[in-house]
Amino acid sequence: MKEAEGLQKDGYHFSKLGGGIVDSGNGYWINFSSCSQKKARICSTDNRADIEGPKSSCSEITVNGSLSAESQDADYSYKPSLSYDLEDTVIARFPLLEYWKLCFVNKRLLALLLSGELFNIRRKIQFDEPSVFMFASGESSWLAFDREFKSCRRLPVLPADMCFFSGDKESFCAGTHLLISGREIEGLVIWRYELSLNKWYKGPSMLNPRCLFASATCGIFAYVAGGIGIMENSEVYNTAEKYNPDTQSWEPLPKMIRRRKLCAGCYMDNRFYVIGGRNDEGELTCGEYFDVSKNKWELIPGMFKDDPVLTYHSPPLVAVVNNELYSLEASSNQLKVYLKRTNTWKHLGPVPVKADSYRGWGVAFKSLGNELLVIGASAVSSTSNSMSIYTCCPDPNAKELQWNPLDSGRNQLSHFILNCSVMVA
């Protein structure tokens, strides 16, 4: 990270940090209110948590080109410092996608990032926020978006071989790790992106490396189940595993009741659900869930019996919001909600993207906090080939859902989404 050029006042030196500039050595924080107005506010760091409060000692400075600054009645005679506990609480509230910049501030913040303590603080103060990681057709690198898709940045290029880039991949998140499973020349591998360091690392491999599997995230943990290996005539798996990002390791779970590939996963009611898919005998209409408290699997006959079967279809498009399971029916572009008591599905109307264009492939359908997120080719406009992004707050009892567009044409990316995962941390 480059330091702010020419910004010095009475011997104090400042460096850029996120939406402002911090003097890590002398205890001042500069917040830029508007780039267009070229104004900034400088405050004692003891007021960072409540910058607009009555005790805030701030002055306005004018920023001109080289970031030279001249104080206006600023009082530098008293500079109380924050306690480390309070400072950590303030820093923990930084936007998640900006965390990697903290390692350039000082060694103490770097140590907090490496230890994961900042993320523990976020969980303690319940400051989790979802971020969307996506890989679209025609792109050379992954993209990260905030919840409202107002900010976007490219991740470092994944250092895998060409076999990995050209093949099918599955993605899922665990804590602050984004994991991508795919095939390299040497075999099935996993690459993980660590948000805090903004770097890619290889591994760790699953106990049973697989593709076309189901996955789901709960808290910092990720669950995978089913799928197949890459050997000729490889059997369909009924094995399952759990990933712990703190130890960067996998642990085995009890085997599923059914073998299945091309299945979907979700986490609901403290259970890991695996839905649909197929095995050597054909399409599966049953689902099953792993009960964490009982450490065993339970079968749900006919859970997916109402979903029309398409040739060469994608895994079921499912997402959970407020412990309710929703499905996007690829054959009709209809949104459905699962009625747990009757083991049936209720139609809630169409979604504004074309899931039927490629039999469910190329569409992202995810939960985004208390909203549903869908990304793909617009069903409203037939002239644009760029992606369309919509969210809605689903209501199982609503007669009609209101879908809200987020991108407004800003993201001129391909509408065909190869991989998409939501990280909540």
Confidence of residue 202 (pLDDT cuts 50, 70, 90): very high
> How confident is the prediction for the chain on average, in pLDDT?
82
In this prediction, residue 75 carries a pLDDT of: 45
Higher pLDDT among residues 59 and 219, named by residue = 219
CA distance 339 to 251: 32
User: According to CATH, where is 2.120.10.80 located in the chain?
Assistant: 130-424
Asked whether residue 11 carries a pLDDT value surpassing 80, the answer given is: no
Output b/e per residue, 253-266; b: 16+ Cβ within 10 A: beebebbbbbbbbb
Of 22 and 154, more confident: 154
Is a pLDDT exceeding 70 seen at residue 418?
yes
Q: What is the pLDDT of residues 279-318, one digit of tens each?
A: 998 999 999 999 999 999 999 999 998 777 777 899 999 9
Task: Give the pLDDT confidence score for residue 66 in this predicted structure.
Answer: 37
- Please determine, for residue 47, whether its predicted confidence score (pLDDT) is greater than 80: no
CA distance 109 to 384: 45
Cα gap 174→405, rounded to integer Å: 28
pLDDT exceeds cutoff 50 at 266: yes
* Structural tokens at position 269: 């009611």
Residue 85 pLDDT exceeds 80? yes
pLDDT digit string, tens, across residues 66-80: 333 343 444 445 555
> What is the rounded average pLDDT of the residues 179-198?
94
Name the more confident of 181 and 101: 181
Using CA atoms, how far apart are residues 60 and 40, in angstroms rounded to an integer?
A: 6
Average pLDDT over residues 52-77: 39
Check pLDDT > 60 for residue 367: yes
pLDDT at 203: 93
Classify domain 130-424 at the CATH superfamily level: Kelch-type beta propeller (2.120.10.80)
**Alpha-carbon dihedral sign for residues 263, 241, 128, 182:** negative
Residues 49-69 have a mean pLDDT of 37
Q: Between the ranges 18-27, 32-41, 128-137, 229-238, where is the mean pLDDT highest?
A: 128-137
Residue 29 has pLDDT above 60, yes or no: no
